[in-house]
Structure 1
Amino acid sequence: MGQVILITGPARSGKSEWAETWARESGKTVIYVATATRNPDDAEWQERIQQHQNRRPQDWVTLEVPTTLSATLANTKANSCVLVDSLGTWVANLLEQDEVSWASTVAEFLVTVQLVAADMVFVAEETGWGIVPAYPLGRKFRDRLGALVRQLGGMCDSVYLVTGGYALNLTALGTRLPDSIDDE
């Protein structure tokens, strides 16, 4: 297993930029895995995608992978650094899966992460720091992403929280919780 880094934080906190720094400094071939899907009818979304693209070096390989993340990771070479941006978008793309299918998807993903020899940097949004979403789909998204981030975080070499313009190394500052995931 290569080095696994998780970078999490709120919107516009700089987590993607911190992940890009990690990938660039790895000295390896960088494979940027974008989980977002393009929507030509949404000019603001297209602008966000363009901003991300403009920041990346030209020699990085970009793959658009809205749902098949495990298969993509499984096919990476050991001498590369895979940057996945973002797990929140990946979760959103799979919200229509029933609970059994989702559990299988997560299990496959977590096993794959443990088997991949490449370095991996994952970007994930933090949710649930505010009110409980008023709609079932919002609660489903929040709960699925929160559980996934917790499970992945337990497997990572380093976990960073990016907020307020700072990247905090939670693995150095914090104490890891037990593996069980309760409804919190």
Structure 2
Amino acid sequence: MTSKGDLTKARLAQSMLELIQASGYSGTGLNAVIEHASAPKGSVYFHFPDGKEELGVAAVALAAKQFEAMIIQAAQSAGGAGEAAKLAIQALAAIISDSGFRLGCPVSVVTLEMGDSSERLRQACATAFESWIAPTAALLEADGVDRAQAKSLATVIVSTIEGAAILSRAMKNTQPLLAAADAVGELIGLRRQGEGTQS
């Protein structure tokens, strides 16, 4: 059974995540997180003794889990790696569009803002990206792509999605993400054909 304290801790991490998406890491203050989470004053330092940095790490980890779940869900409902990648990107495009292009990838935001000044946050972001690359690589490998090539291709796919998400927010248009979905699907198809030719 989840305790009241655990629920408050989870709400704080979720609020931090949503505020980072909308206002950036630097633009998110602890008072705003407490208000957004409807949490008691002092709850941040009770659950996150190291303050904002520790809360930021928790928010990045939460974002990693949410997007990893999106990848897994897409894989379960798709007929192959290419279709799964397109479904995941289309789902991300819908989230960004539905938010009025206010929300983006909090992991890229934290990386760009804090990667040079906080090793703890940089490592959390690196871990998050790896948590997306790994299941993507596993999906590609299950679809017939060589293991070494699958890791490399998965890294390209995640990088492409991150860049397209930034462009979509800047342009207030999902076209960059939808174009990325098509390009990633074609790239996976070409790589699979190449593997089949080699074998």
Shorter chain as denominator, the TM-score bin is 0.3 to 0.5
Q: Which has the higher strand share?
A: 1
Q: Give the alignment's TM-score, normalised by structure 2.
A: 0.31
Q: Which has the higher helix share?
A: 2
Q: Based on CA coordinates, which of the two structures has the bigger radius of gyration?
A: 2
Q: Give the alignment's TM-score, normalised by structure 1.
A: 0.33
Greater RCO between the two (CA within 8 Å, min separation 6)?
Answer: 1
